[in-house]
Amino acid sequence: MTSVQTGAAQAAAVWEKLKQEIKAAAPGLGIDDIGFASAEPFVTLKSILEQHRAKGYESGFEESDIEKRVRPELKDGEPASLIAIAVAYPSKMVNPPKSEPGAYRGILARSAWGQDYHQVLRAAMDKLVNFIRERVPEAMIESMVDTGALVDRAVSQRAGIGFSAKNCAIISPKFGSWIFLGELVTNIPFQPDTPVTEDCGECTKCIDACPTGALVGPGQLNAQRCISFVTQTKGFVDEEFMLKIGNRLYGCDTCQIVCPKNRGKNWDHHPEFHPDPEIVKPLLLPLLDIGNREFKERFGQSSAAWRGKKPIQRNAVIALGNFKDKTAVPKLTEVLKRDPRPELRGTAAWALSRIGGEDAMRAIGEAAANEQDGNVLSMLQKAKERLSASKTLPDKTEAKQVSHVKSEEQKEHNNQNNQNNPLNMEQPNQKTEDAPVQESGQTTKPTKPEAAAWKPSAVTGLHGTPVYYDEVLTPIGTLTLCATDKGLCHIDFGAFHVREAHLQQWARTWIGEYRYERNEEKLGEAAKQVQAYFAGERKVFDLKLDLFGTPFQLQVWQVLSDISYGEASSHQQVAEIIGRPKAVRAVLDAISKNPIPIIIPCHRISGKDGTLVGYVGGLQTKEQLLTLEQQS
């Protein structure tokens, strides 16, 4: 046995030996990874959390006292170190059941598969605490999982479990982000482990794929817009989010599914996390009749049960509306007229208006005559307007609708069995009126009259940093020029309405909260100089630029800017100029992400042997630009 008091005065080797014993024992305790860190305050994190709160990005589930979140404490002593643990969980389901017409299904996020992870991690940490106290009886140790004051991800990052990713998850080099996190505070002065130096690099797939734009920037999450948070809230849900929820009943895995770091990673060595397909992908209609006792029996062991059955039932109603399940109309009508919960009645009105038909219209009219709740009455009115508008549109056959849903369900099935294609994953974004799920990760602007009832997104609506744009006609087609108040920031090949989704993704990644605003005056000088370039009257641009990129990208773009009109260079030469001769592939990637082509002349880059290589505007456009400069 070792004493904390006497041990502290001894050589650090005493605690290092215990640390190695703990690491060796961890797998037998049910722990997949373990790391050690100092218990010093998280000084930098404090300002980040304060800014997060000031912007209204908190979920409300966090510890309200920021000081407690950044300053490790022990009730009866001074903390000397932190211990972080990670337990991996599965990302795939064996033979997942499929939705069928009249038997559509919802889905729980992977973190809610199997037994509640809080229970599993607490059991593992209890074993760890006992293991340590057998060797240091008077050691002070306090453990926490998810609900503790400290920020799990900050502790795990400091302890070397993984790095903090752009999707705000901790990514382990071995396990990816499919890990549950827990931590212990102790007065034993363990030597800290080395943090992971790996990072996301220039990848922004998670930000681009986020259904609601909740990832407002690298490592910045607006929890109020996060589908995972929205599915756990009680009460009414904005129409915008109901469409984006798709068939999710609890949580959202999109930002993890698309992450290249998770490719091919699936951990099924913990039987307690193995999913019961009928629980994690349940039939939707039966959920509307489930009682408290049955809910507890079926879902009580899952972490999805912590908020009770009400949010899951509301989300099931939303999913039926997104599936446009005509067989659900009688049950939704019953919910609309008889359910005592206003949020269920209002959501049922929305779902019925999505499904459409005479029975839905009749039910909404009858309910409106008797409804007393103001919020529900408002949703009933919007439902009436949507149904009235749909009558002026061509009817779509049920066969077409069912065919579409079945094709989406097949994609979902493929997702479970082929994670090597991360973009072909379940991402229930709204695409068109009869498309409850969108797989590409790009949100398409709705074109039907019901869009008028939607609330504007805080990211793409009327608030946020203005990004001005204008279009200019050129010999290579229409270009969309974009600028902030500081200068030109982006040029895209194509008209704004064609490239809107791409431009939104770019602004969301680098600016955060934004709004696009057409402004010819702001872009007047840039348009004038671009037109002069294509007329052969300008060889050098004189414009203020506002560049957004990583330090490496900015370094590469600076070298590109120094390539004179009519001259040529290669990727290898650029790599050598920046002092990174072996970073040719990274240079290639940085060039492909050049936000201001033509002005920053990446078209003047060729292969090592002088051959033409890829160009953001296409090789034909690149040839035209080079020909223009050769003729001038």
Query: Could you report the per-residue pLDDT of 163-183, keeping only the tens digit for each?
Result: 999 999 999 999 999 999 999
DSSP SS3 for 343: helix
DSSP element (H, E) containing 241: helix 239-245
How far apart are the C-alpha atoms of 606 and 484, rounded to whole Å? 31
How far apart are the C-alpha atoms of 375 and 377, rounded to whole Å? 5
Q: What pLDDT, on the 0 to 100 scale, is given for residue 424?
A: 26
- Is the pLDDT at 438 greater than 50, yes or no? no
Spatial CA neighbour of 504 closest among 251, 78, 243, 207: 207
10 Å Cβ neighbour count for 280? 25
Q: What pLDDT, on the 0 to 100 scale, is given for residue 610?
A: 62
Q: What pLDDT, on the 0 to 100 scale, is given for residue 97?
A: 94
Q: What pLDDT, on the 0 to 100 scale, is given for residue 104?
A: 96
pLDDT per residue over 267-279, tens digit each? 999 999 999 999 9
Q: At what angle do helices 13-25 and 117-135 cross, to 10 degrees?
A: 140
pLDDT over 90, % of the chain: 64
Could you identify the residue written with the tokens 């799920």? 437
How far apart are the C-alpha atoms of 308 and 306, rounded to whole Å? 6
Burial 520-545 (b: 16+ CB within 10 A, else e): eebbeebbebbeebbeeebeebeeeb
pLDDT per residue over 205-215, tens digit each? 899 889 999 99
Amino acid at 274: H
Overall average pLDDT of the 262-267 stretch: 96
Task: Give the ranges where 111-180 is alpha helix by DSSP (H).
Answer: 117-135, 152-158
> 403 near 411, Cβ under 8 Å?
no
Q: What pLDDT, on the 0 to 100 scale, is given for residue 253?
A: 96
How many degrees, rounded to 5, is the angle at CA 389 between CA 383 and CA 390?
A: 90
pLDDT higher for 499 or 417?
Answer: 499
DSSP SS3 for 64: coil
pLDDT per residue over 580-618, tens digit each? 888 888 888 889 899 999 999 999 988 766 666 778 788
pLDDT per residue over 53-105, tens digit each? 998 999 888 888 999 999 999 988 899 999 999 999 999 999 999 999 889 99
Structure tokens at 568: 């040529």
pLDDT per residue over 266-313, tens digit each? 999 999 999 999 999 999 999 999 999 999 999 999 999 998 999 999
- Is the pLDDT at 412 greater than 50, yes or no? no
If pLDDT is split at 50, 70 and 90, which confidence band does 503 have?
confident
Q: What pLDDT, on the 0 to 100 scale, is given for residue 580?
A: 87
Average pLDDT score over the chain: 85
Return the bridge partners of 163, or none: 171
Q: What pLDDT, on the 0 to 100 scale, is given for residue 445?
A: 33
| Domain boundary assignment for the chain | 4-186, 205-265+274-399, 465-631
pLDDT higher for 423 or 400?
Answer: 400
Q: What pLDDT, on the 0 to 100 scale, is given for residue 419?
A: 37
10 Å Cβ neighbour count for 434? 15
- Is the pLDDT at 146 greater than 80, yes or no? no
Spatial CA neighbour of 302 closest among 88, 118, 116: 116
> 415 near 424, Cβ under 8 Å?
yes
pLDDT per residue over 557-568, tens digit each? 999 999 999 888
Q: The domain at 465-631 falls in which architecture?
A: Orthogonal Bundle (1.10)
pTM comes to 0.66
- By mean pLDDT, which of 119-123, 215-219, 593-597 is the weakest? 215-219
- Is the pLDDT at 429 greater than 50, yes or no? no
Residue-by-residue DSSP string for 551-598: HHHHHHHHHHHTSPTT--EEHHHHHHHTT-TT-HHHHHHHHHT-SSBT
Q: Which residues contact 83 (CB under 8 A, 6 or more apart)?
A: 22, 34, 35, 36, 37, 128, 159, 183, 184, 186, 190
Phi, psi of 8, deg, nearest 5: -65, -30
> 179 near 172, Cβ under 8 Å?
yes
Q: What pLDDT, on the 0 to 100 scale, is given for residue 4?
A: 60
Selecting among 146, 268, 276, 589, the annotated active-site residue is: 146
DSSP element (H, E) containing 141: strand 141-144
How far apart are the C-alpha atoms of 206 and 166, rounded to whole Å? 7
pLDDT per residue over 369-411, tens digit each? 999 999 999 999 999 998 888 765 444 434 433 433 333 344 3
If pLDDT is split at 50, 70 and 90, which confidence band does 461 have?
very low
Q: What pLDDT, on the 0 to 100 scale, is given for residue 612?
A: 67
How many degrees, rounded to 5, is the angle at CA 251 between CA 204 and CA 284?
A: 130
Overall average pLDDT of the 221-239 stretch: 94
Structure tokens at 204: 């922004």
DSSP element (H, E) containing 525: helix 520-534
Return the bridge partners of 466, or none: 515
- 152 a catalytic residue: no
